[in-house]
Chain A
Amino acid sequence: MTLYRFNLYNGIGFVADEEGRELPDVAAARDEALKAVRGIIADEVLQGRLDLNGRIEVMDGEGPPVITLAFAEAVEIA
């Protein structure tokens, strides 16, 4: 298990993940990031707003992000 931190950059600025989550691998971290982005977008849509400019950066230590997931990548737009 690895401790991944999910740092969020979106409309309300930067939200650092101080707690992190223990997950088996990068694929699991990507699933977690996808769910997170979709959850936030869904909540904003319910308030009548859609901002796809945010991103989540997943860190597994001090180095560069192991995943950068743009909000726009988390949903298919038909």
Chain B
Amino acid sequence: MIDHFLAKLRVRDEISPEEEEAIRGMLDPPVEIPADKTIIPAGVELNVSTLLLDGLLCRYKDLRDGSRQISELHVPGDFADLHSFTLKYLDHSVMALTKCRIATVRHDRLKAVIEAHPHLGRMFWFMTNLDAAIHREWVLSLGRRSAISRVAHLFCETRVRLEISGLADRRGYEFGITQADLAECLGLTPVHVNRVLKELREDGLVAFRGGRVHIHDLAGLERIAEFYPAYLYLDKRPR
């Protein structure tokens, strides 16, 4: 159940059997969430954090006219709102983009685990730092990358994040989101995303079809995206 989460941690540092046991012990039973459901609305007082087991979640904020900006995608194994442990409520909402399976952790249990296993506390801190690094990369995309490079970058980033859990390889991955969701990630309109997807397809780089990303030329895709995965901190070392 927590294999994706453990894989994500173990890429960055050793996790002992005792630590693994503590993680297993703190989780509530898993729950299924239907697609398009907001599971954490902004501003609501929270006493649990959510671990994503399967599916895709996103963090988003809306303007009054209904425009939505998704600021991060969450893949299986992401501790999606570890932030609420210290923030107590979120300034943004968290929504299921596809059908998801999640497990929550009560904040009092999280506190007990962190006190008994300070190294896990640091690893959870690392996870929120990683979220911040991803946000910075998205700011760069939204502010500076061209439309085609933005789309390419999101495909590259998601590929690496899924590959950690064995859910992607060099040829592609299942990616069950819509072009409208992509548009909300990328600050583009769905029609514009569709046009850029056609360009990427015709350039022989990548095709997004039937809920799957088919990568035809990974090096070319990473080149057009200016994708350098250092911001995902994939090195294993004591933390």
Interface residues of A (CB under 8 A from B): 6, 8, 10, 12-13, 15, 17, 19, 21, 32-33, 35-37, 39-40, 43, 46-47, 56
Verify if B198 is at the interface (C-beta below 8 Å from A): yes
Per the bound structure, the CA–CA distance linking A28 and B181 in Å amounts to: 18
Per the bound structure, the CA–CA distance linking A40 and B146 in Å amounts to: 12
A15 lies within 8 A of B198 (CB): yes
B190 lies within 8 A of A36 (CB): yes
A8 contact from B147, B178, B194, Cβ within 8 A: B194
B180 lies within 8 A of A21 (CB): yes
Verify if B189 is at the interface (C-beta below 8 Å from A): yes
Given contacts A21-B180, A47-B146, A39 and B198 within 8 Å (CB-CB): no
Verify if B179 is at the interface (C-beta below 8 Å from A): yes
Given contacts A12-B199, A21-B180, A36-B189, A43 and B194 within 8 Å (CB-CB): no
7 closest Cβ contacts across the A-B interface? A36-B191, A36-B189, A39-B189, A6-B191, A39-B192, A15-B195, A15-B198
B191 lies within 8 A of A19 (CB): no
Q: Once A and B bind, how many residue pairs between them come within 8 Å at the CB atom?
A: 49
Residues of chain A within 8 A (CB-CB) of B180 are: 19, 21
A17 lies within 8 A of B178 (CB): no
Per the bound structure, the CA–CA distance linking A10 and B152 in Å amounts to: 22
Per the bound structure, the CA–CA distance linking A47 and B189 in Å amounts to: 18
Verify if B22 is at the interface (C-beta below 8 Å from A): no
Q: Provide a sorted-by-A list of 27 A–B residue pairs whose CB atoms are within 8 angstroms.
A: A6-B190, A6-B191, A8-B191, A8-B195, A12-B195, A12-B198, A12-B199, A15-B195, A17-B191, A19-B180, A19-B190, A19-B194, A21-B180, A21-B190, A32-B189, A32-B191, A33-B191, A35-B189, A36-B189, A36-B190, A36-B191, A37-B191, A39-B189, A39-B192, A40-B192, A46-B146, A56-B191
Nearest CB of B to A51, in Å: 13
Most B C-beta atoms less than 10 A away, residue of A33, A35, A46: A35
Residues of chain B within 8 A (CB-CB) of A36 are: 189-192
Per the bound structure, the CA–CA distance linking A76 and B188 in Å amounts to: 21
Interface residues on B, range: 10 to 19
Nearest CB of A to B211, in Å: 11
Residues of chain A within 8 A (CB-CB) of B178 are: 19
Residues of chain A within 8 A (CB-CB) of B194 are: 6, 8, 15, 17, 19
- Nearest to A16 among chain B residues (CB) is B194
B191 lies within 8 A of A40 (CB): yes
Nearest CB of B to A16, in Å: 8
Residues of chain B within 8 A (CB-CB) of A8 are: 191, 194-195
Per the bound structure, the CA–CA distance linking A12 and B198 in Å amounts to: 9
Most A C-beta atoms less than 10 A away, residue of B188, B189, B198, B199: B189
Chain B 169-220 interface residues, beta-carbon cutoff 8 Å to A = 178-180, 188-192, 194-195, 198-199
Given contacts A12-B198, A35-B189, A39-B189, A19 and B147 within 8 Å (CB-CB): no
